[in-house]
Chain A
Amino acid sequence: MKKQLLLFSISFVALILGSYFYFTSSDNNLNEEDARNFAIEEIEKIDKIFLADKKGTQVTLTKENKIWKVNDTYVARHKRIQTLLKTVQKVKVKQRVPKEQKQRILKNLATNNIKAEFFSKGELVKSYFIGSADGTTTGTYMLLINEDSNENYPIPFLTHLIGFEGYLTPRYEPNPNTWRDLSIFYFPKNAIQSVKLDYKESSENSFEIKLEKSKYELFHNNQKVSGNSSKIKKYLLNFKSIAAENLLISQVKDTVLKKIKKQDVWFTLSVTNFLGKTISVEGYKKKMPPGSKNSIGMPLTFDPDRFYGFCFENELAILQHYVFEPLLITKSDLE
C-alpha cells in the first residue's frame, strides 16, 4: 500500500509539473526570450516614464490623477503619451541583429542612445536603450536592461510595431518641449466671458466681444457697436481647440527675439473665461529672407504659413496661419 501511495504521489507531482509546462508552453521557438522581451503588457500600471539621451536632454513624465505631466510642471500631450504607451505595449522584435553587425550596433547604441525607464508605484518595471533606425527605416535597434542586475543584456535587437511602417526612436524623444501640451485656447461652448483682438497697425479692425446680460455684445474702442449675434457665436466656437505648432528652443529663440524686437506687434488676442482667467497671444509676422518668391513668382515679405507668437505666459512659439485664420478676423466680419 505504501509503495502504491508513493507511486501515486510521484505520478501526481509529475502530472502537476507536466500540466504546468503544457499550459505555459508556446508554439514559438525563440532563443534569449528575456533579452527580447521589450513589451510591457499592463501599460495602465505605468505611472512614471523617464527618457534621457547622451547629450543630457531628459524628461520625466508622471501620471497624477489620470493626467500626465511633463517634469511635474506642464500638462503632457495626451495623444503623444498614448502613442508612447501603445508603442511600449506592442513593441516586438522584428529580427535579430546579424552576428557580424552586433559589435557595430552595440557601439552605436553605446554612443548614441535614448534610455527609457518605466516605473509603476515607484518600482522600475522595464528599461532599455533605444538606438537609431536600420537601413530600411522600418526597424529600430534596442537593447534591454536586466532590471534585477541593472546591466544590459549582451544582444541588441531590431524592433518594430507590426503594422507600422517607420522607426520608433522619435516616439521616445527626451526633449520636454515635444511632450508639452501646446493647446493655447481650449474653451468649450459658452465658457468664454470676453475676447479682445487688437491689431496695432489697423486699429479700425480691432474689436472686443463681451458677455453682457447673457448676450455676447460687440465693442470697438470700448463703444458698443451692433454685431451679428449668430456670427459672434460661430466665431467663439473657434476657440475650442487652438494650439501652437512648437515652442522655440533657446538658441533659435534668442535670434528670433532680436528680429521681432525691431517689428511691431501684429495682433494681441486675449480670451477670458468665466473664472476670470485670461489667456493671451501676441502675434508677430515671420519675415522671409530677402528675394523670397511664392510659387507663381510674386515676392514674399512674410511667411505665408507660419508666424511667431508669445503665449503660455510669455513663451515664444511658432504658430500657424491655418490654425489662427478663423480667429484673426476683423470687426466688420462680425457686424
Chain B
Amino acid sequence: MIKNKLKDLTNFLTGFIIILILMIFSYFSFIKIDLTEDKRFTLHESTIELMETLDDVVEFKIYLENEHLPADLTRVRNSILETLEELSDISDGYVEYEFIDLYNTIEDPKTREQSILNLKRRQGLEIVPIPFRKENGELDRVYVPLGAEAFYKGRSIPVPFIRQAKGNKTNTYEKAIEELEFEITNAIRKLKQDSMKTIAFLQGHGELGRFDVEDFSKSLYEYYQTGPAYIKNKEGKEQLNALNGIDLLIIAKPVQPFTQKEQYIIDQFIMNGGKVLMMLEGAQGAELDSMQTQGIVFAAPLETGLDAMLHKYGVRLNKHIVEDLQCSKIPIQTTASGSGGRFQLYSWIYNPVLKSKNNHIINKNLDPVKVEFCSSFDTTSIEDIKFTTLYQTSGNNRYKKLPSRISFRETANEKIISDNFKKGSKPVALLLEGEFGSYFKNRIAPEFTANKKIKFKDVSGKNKMIVIADGDIGKNWFSQRQEMIPLGTDQYSNVFYDNKKFLVNCANYLLGDEELISVRSKKIKMRLLDSKMVKEKKGFITILNTALPIGIILLISFVFIIFRKVRFSK
C-alpha cells in the first residue's frame, strides 16, 4: 500500500518536474514557428542579408527598462529583446545588447534627470512618464526613454523605438512593435553607411520652402544629406554645374516658369543619371488657405515649362483639377459668423484620398495618401520607358477644367450624384523607368551639341524618375502655435495618411536603397476587438469566456469517468 502511494507520488513529482524543466528550457531555447498570416514574427530577407554582412559587433544599449514598466510597454520591451536575440543568432553574435535601467545605474537624481533630458534633447528619444505607487502609498513617477543607442565601429546613433505619435497608446505600441525590425536595421544601415548620398530640394521658382518640407526633409536626413539647390547664382545667371554632386533632385511645387537654360540643366542632369522626384501642380491659384480667407478661388492652368519636358519623357500633366468622391473632410462654416460660426465637417472633393495600388515596392502596404487640388497624368507610349502607376484617382471622380472658380458654398451645396463622378481613374503618381530622350535633342544648334566641352547627352542610360501631380503631397502644415504638424496628418480629423512614408520610399527607391523600403513596408495587421460588438454582446461574451472552458473540462472529466466505468466494470 505504502509502496503504491510512494509510486504514485514519484510519478506525480516526476511529471511535475518534467513540465517545469520544459518551461525553463523553453525560456532559453529559441524555437519559433510563425503561423501568422502577415508573418509578423519572421525577419525580412534583407534584414538577414544585412546581419550576414556585419563585420564588427553592433551594440545596442536599450533604455526601455524599469521595474515599473506597465504591461503594454513590457510587451514592447520583450519584443525588442526577442528581435535582438534573433538578430544576434543570425549574425553569429555580431549583435550585442544590454538593457539599462537608468534609475538603477545613476544614483544622483539630478544627474539622472540630466541624462534623461540629454537622451531627449540630443538623441531625440521620446521620454514617457510612468506613474507608480511607492511602498508608503505615495504616488511617484519614473521617466523612461523609449529607445536605445546603437554603437558600431566607434560611431553611435540613437534608435527610437517609439516615435512621437498621436492616437491611443495601444496603437502607438502596436506600431512600435510592428516597426521594431525596421528601426533596428535602419540604425545598423545608417551606422554602416560610409558615404551619404545627396538629396537637394530645388529652389528659385516659388517651390515649397524649408519649413514647408521640414518633416519630409527630416525623414530623408536620417539616410541622406539634404539641402537646397539653386540653378541660378546670385547674379541671376544659370550655372551649368549647379546640380553636380546631387544624387536626387526634388522639385516640389514650383509655381514660376523655368527658363530654357534651367530646363536644359535639369534635362542634362537626368541624361547624366540624376534622379528626379517632381511634385507638380496642374493649376495655380487653387489653395485651401486662400479659400479660407475669401471663400472662393480662381484656378488657372499653371505653365512652368517642366510639363513640356515631361511630355518628352512620356508623361502629360493634365491641366485640370481632380474632384473625387473618395476624399477627406474639411470644416465648412454652416451658420453665420454672428451666431457663433458653427463649423461642420464636409467631404471636400478637391482633397482626394488615394489608395495604394500595392503593385510596387514603393507603395506596398502603404495606407492612403492625401492630396490637395491635384491634377492627373496621361502617358504616351514611348518605347524605352516603363510606366508604373503608384497612386491614381478612385474612379469615382471627375475633372474640373481650367480656368475655373471653386467656392466653399458651391461645393457644400452641390448635391452629389455619383453618376456625375464616372470619368474614370487617372494616375496621380507615376514611376518612369528606362532610357529618357533629351528634351533638347534636335532643339538646339548642332554647334552647341557637338561642342565637346558642353558634353551634351541626348539620351540617358537606365534611369528612373517619379512624378506626382500634386505639390502639396510633401507639405507639412503648422498649428496655430507654430508647431509643425507631421506630414500626412489631417489636422481636422486627426487621420494619418502615409504621405511621408510614400515620399521617403520614393527617395529610397530612386537612390537604389530598396532594402530600406522592404523592411519599412512590413505590415502587421492589428487584430483588435470589435468594440461595437463587444459593447453589444458583452454579457454573452463574458459568459462564454467563463463557462466554456469550465464546460469543456467538465465534459472531458465526464467522458473520462464513463470510460473508466466501462473499462473497469468488465
Contacts and interface: CB of A to CB of B under 8 A. Distances in A.
Interface of A: 1, 4-5, 7-8, 11-12, 14-15, 18-19, 21-22, 25, 27-31, 90, 92, 94-101, 134-135, 158, 162-164
A14 B88 contact: no
B24 A19 contact: yes
B48 interface: no
Contacts of B11: 4
B154 interface: yes
B97 interface: yes
B218 interface: no
Q: Which of A14, A90, A163 has the most CB of B within 10 A?
A: A163
B492 interface: no
B28 A21 contact: yes
A29 B57 CA distance: 12
A93 to B, nearest CB: 8
B115 interface: yes
A29 to B, nearest CB: 5
Interface of A is mostly: mixed
Given A31-B96, A164-B111, A95 B7 contact: no
A101 B152 CA distance: 12
B555 interface: no
Given A99-B56, A163-B106, 15 more contacts: A11-B18, A11-B21, A14-B21, A21-B28, A27-B99, A29-B96, A95-B156, A96-B56, A96-B57, A96-B59, A99-B55, A162-B115, A163-B114, A163-B115, A164-B111
Interface string B154-198: 101000000000000000000000000000000000000000000
Interface string B100-132: 101001101001101100000000000000000
A28 B99 CA distance: 6
B108 A163 contact: yes
Contacts, number: 92
B222 interface: no
Contacts of B10: 1, 4-5, 8
Nearest to B77: A27
21 contacts: A1-B3, A1-B7, A1-B10, A5-B10, A8-B13, A8-B14, A11-B17, A12-B17, A14-B21, A28-B97, A29-B88, A29-B96, A31-B57, A95-B154, A98-B56, A98-B154, A99-B153, A101-B154, A162-B105, A162-B106, A164-B111
B59 A7 contact: no
Contacts of B27: 22
Contacts of A158: 154
A90 to B, nearest CB: 7
Nearest to A90: B105
Contacts of B55: 99
Contacts of B20: 15, 18
Interface residues of B, number: 42
Residue of B102, B106, B112, B154 with most partner-chain A CB within 10 A: B154
Contacts of B153: 98-100
Contact of B28 (A25, A30, A134): A25
Contacts of B540: none
Contacts of A97: 154
B378 interface: no
Contacts of B17: 8, 11-12, 14-15
Nearest to B118: A165
B568 interface: no
B551 interface: no
A99 B102 CA distance: 29
B69 to A, nearest CB: 13
B485 interface: no
A181 B12 CA distance: 68
Contact of A4 (B7, B25, B106, B108): B7
B24 A22 contact: yes
Contacts of A31: 57, 93, 96
Contact of A28 (B98, B106, B114): B98
Contact of A11 (B14, B25, B59, B84): B14
Contacts of B112: 163
B142 interface: no
Contacts of B111: 163-164
A22 B100 CA distance: 20
A92 B98 CA distance: 11
Interface string B1-39: 001001100110110011011001101100000000000
Contacts of B84: 29
Contacts of A19: 24
Interface string B57-68: 101000000000
A145 to B, nearest CB: 22
